[in-house]
Amino acid sequence: MEKILVVDDERDNLDLVAHILQAGGMEYDVAASGAEALAKMDGRQFPVVLTDLMMPRMNGIQLLEKVKESWPDTEVIIITAHGSIKSAIEAIRKGAYGYILKPFEPDELRLEIGKALGLIRIKRENRALQAVLAEARHPAVMVGDSPKINAIRELVKSVASTNATILITGESGTGKELVANAIHNSSERRNGPFVKVNCAALAETLLESELFGHEKGSFTGAIAQKKGKFEAADGGTIFLDEIGEISQALQVRLLRVLQEREFQRVGGTKSVNVDVRVISATNRNIAHGVRDGWFREDLFYRLNVIAIEMPALRERREDVPELAKYFLEKFRVELNKNVRSISDGAMKRLTSYDWPGNIRELQNVLERSVVLSDHSVIGEADLPENLNLSSSRLVSSGEERLVSFKEAKRRFEKEFIEAALAQNSGNISRTAVMIQLARKNLQDKIKAYGIDVGSLSDWDGA
């Protein structure tokens, strides 16, 4: 439950208000001066401040001005005597929620606080809705002003109005799904469905049924007809994530859908026609797959009509500060935390790090920092301990000299493992197979290097 901050320089008044709030089931904290109130607010968020008007050194209006300057979302209620109504009205003009005249009834005080809390809830819900709508139009991955992200922003704008098939490539965590969603939301299909299918999550037979549906009795357990994801996406967009993982047999079926815009359900004979835009994504090099024989060349060219390559975050390092501020504001609102900015030292660490998990990892770090921070500014102490300067930079911090061979090897190995984990969305078993290291040995190294596997795990932004 959120706490109300009560401010009054007279102890009897503090005790009276505290008793009223406690009787109404409200949690509270008290301050005997404006300075003490501001000190307490620096450590946590108070939705409502209830302050006496007449106080020495810093009166209620002066406190109101400082609260609104630093915590504009906090509502301030002024308690005043009859002779100070003019000052109370001045406080309303300066942003106070309202005022209460002494003497007051307990129910009157609780009602006024309840209305202020209700207004705060409405404002939060409105901001959350606005954030969802803004994210749909301009996702986090599009934040920044680097040449690479500007080029992608322009490309998305150009292709959104077409029905061209799109292939989005890039490392895990670079935001491939977010870009696909942005294309859909900017297109004429925006009112139609956006259907996501993770092609790596299901076995071949299950994925075939998931994509194309099945007829009753087509296989054991098929007790009823089921429509597939292509039918569910009719009139909209289907997003095929991890397209590089589908089998040769499914590649043939998918090619027919792209060529003819029709297919048959598993076990069926009737053709089903669909009007679907196909956007696919992969962190594998499908061009190499064509060369090596595991991906069909004709399907590749059908999927790759428009190619969008998402840059790794280390390739657009200049966007990190803006992205960090974006996530700070996002989680500040969502988590109702009083965190307003990032210190210069913390920002230097964020921009110096190579981010093997890309935007996904940055988002997780900022969310963690907002949750754990007890101050209005995120400092270096609020960042994960393993978020050190890029391990690819083999010079000592602050010195232009090479580190020892042992230290260089340690840094390289740590970054190599982080990059491999990021490519496999934090899956330790898949990573062990990819880098040809026993799973137990990999787990030991993850523990020894303090690698946060959770920050490299699955993220909605692909």
165-182 tens-digit pLDDT: 999 999 988 999 989 999
Residues in the chain: 462
| pLDDT computed for residue 461 by the predictor | 52
| pLDDT computed for residue 337 by the predictor | 82
The answer to whether residues 76 and 64 touch, using CB atoms and an 8 Å cutoff, is yes
Q: Which residues are bridge partners to 100 per DSSP?
A: 79
Q: Which residues are bridge partners to 262 per DSSP?
A: 273
What is the separation, in whole angstroms, between the first and last Cα of the chain? 35
Residues of the chain with pLDDT below 50 are 389, 391-400, 459
| pLDDT computed for residue 293 by the predictor | 94
The answer to whether residues 7 and 63 touch, using CB atoms and an 8 Å cutoff, is yes
Burial class (CB in 10 A: 0-12, 13-18, 19+), 359: buried
Angle at 264 between CA 216 and CA 205, to 5 degrees: 65
The answer to whether residues 176 and 170 touch, using CB atoms and an 8 Å cutoff, is yes
List Cα–Cα distances, 101 to 80, 104, 112, 363, in angstroms. Answer: 5, 6, 12, 47
Which helix H or strand E contains 84, and what residues bound it?
none
| pLDDT computed for residue 183 by the predictor | 93
| pLDDT computed for residue 20 by the predictor | 94
| pLDDT computed for residue 400 by the predictor | 44
- Domains detected in the chain: 3-133 (3.40.50.2300), 140-311 (3.40.50.300), 314-456 (1.10.8.60)
| pLDDT computed for residue 392 by the predictor | 46
Cis peptide before 103 (omega within 30 of 0): yes
Q: Going by C-beta distance under 8 Å and a sequence separation of 6 or more, which residues neighbour residue 313?
A: 173, 174, 319, 320, 323, 355, 358, 359, 361, 362
| pLDDT computed for residue 419 by the predictor | 80
The answer to whether residues 413 and 448 touch, using CB atoms and an 8 Å cutoff, is no
Angle between helices 106-137 and 320-335 (to 10 degrees): 140
The answer to whether residues 343 and 378 touch, using CB atoms and an 8 Å cutoff, is yes
| pLDDT computed for residue 396 by the predictor | 44
